[in-house]
Amino acid sequence: MAEITAGMVRDLRDATGAGMMDCKKALVESGGDMEAAIDWLRKKGLSAAAKKSGRVAAEGLVGVASGPGVAAMVEVNAETDFVARNEAFQNFVAEVAGLALSVGDNLEHLKAATFPGTTHSTQEELTKMIATIGENMTIRRAKVFSVEKGTVATYIHNAVKPGLGKIGVLVALEGPGENAVMETLGRQIGMHVAATRPEALDVSAVEPSALEREKAVLTEQAMASGKPPAVIEKMVEGRIRKFYEEVVLLEQVWVHDGESRVKAVVAKAGLGLKGFARFQLGEGIEKQTSDFAAEVAAASGVA
């Protein structure tokens, strides 16, 4: 049997990120064959990852990356905020965002794409990280915008590192103009979107069901006033305009001056706002809450 040296263990640890004892055991099990040891660890990682896959991952990071006329945004989740401060995890999120620039925002394609600097898939790289760090992690969502003439600006609110944070925004602007000017406006719109959380780009993009629900509520409220039907109709129209000002980006009041409409700011710049996306870390994920006393009782067999 081949002698397992400290140098071999160190090399395997550098190559895989696994713990020292796991690396030593892998080398023993594989007779000192480095490639076989890597495969052994990957198999072990797959097993470890499977055990963690049911745990809620609502922390992590949002990452953005950009290129000429294109930008991408991804959300990668972990179980605890501690992992978001892990450099290896941060680098992974940044690489996935950069990969999305060329692969696109289809999650299955993104997970199947070869992870930069390796010969294996992005999902396999994530699985290896799950085994190494010890938490469930998921690539939850991705969005890519591209424009033929213009820019796709990015904005990260309270960035932990450049391009990484807990709220990210993409803003697609089209039209003539200097890139620097468009980038500045795009970043300002990104800040606006981060603060106001619009649901639609323009009035036509508002979900019909959401609009009907709002109209029903407003109509009932107006009818309680006892005013004539014609007056009620005018009241509802006015309140629907107010509703649009709250949820439609182009109809919102520009947060940077508190007076202009976003659509007027964009029009003044001679540009068109073609789309936006806002990712807030963990939004929509139901976080688990636990009763510590009940857990202790269950563990000790107390009814």
Query: Could you say which DSSP state residue 212 is in?
Result: H
255 Cβ contact partners less than 8 Å away, ≥ 6 residues apart: 191, 192, 195, 196
pLDDT, tens only, 16-29: 666 677 788 888 98
pLDDT higher than 80, residue 285: no
* Closest among 249, 269, 111 to 181, alpha carbons compared: 269
Q: Is this prediction's pTM over 0.75?
A: no
Given this model, what pLDDT does residue 18 score? Answer: 66
Q: How far apart are CA 203 and CA 249, in angstroms?
A: 9
- Look at 2 and 34; give whichever has higher pLDDT: 34
Note the pLDDT tens digit of each residue in 73-95: 999 999 888 888 999 999 999 99
Q: Are 193 and 248 in contact (CB under 8 A)?
A: no
- Mean pLDDT highest for which of 60-69, 177-186, 198-207? 60-69
What count of other Cβ atoms lies within 10 Å of the Cβ of residue 276? 23
Closest alpha carbon to 223 in 215, 231, 232: 232
Residue 302, pLDDT above cutoff 50: no
Identify the CA nearest to 125 among candidates 111, 106, 135. 111
What gap in Å lies between CA 119 and CA 116, rounded to an integer?
Answer: 8
d(C-alpha 191, C-alpha 69), whole Å: 20
Give the single-character DSSP code of 171: E
- Which domains does the chain show, CATH number per domain? 6-52 (1.10.8.10), 59-203+248-280 (3.30.479.20), 207-245 (1.10.286)
SS3 content of the chain, % helix, strand, coil (to 5): 50, 20, 30
In 147-221 the beta strands, taken as DSSP E runs, fall at: 150-157, 164-165, 167-174
Residue 199's SS3 state is: coil
Output the six-digit token pair for 54.
């049911």
Residue 223's pLDDT is: 77
297 pLDDT higher than 80:
no
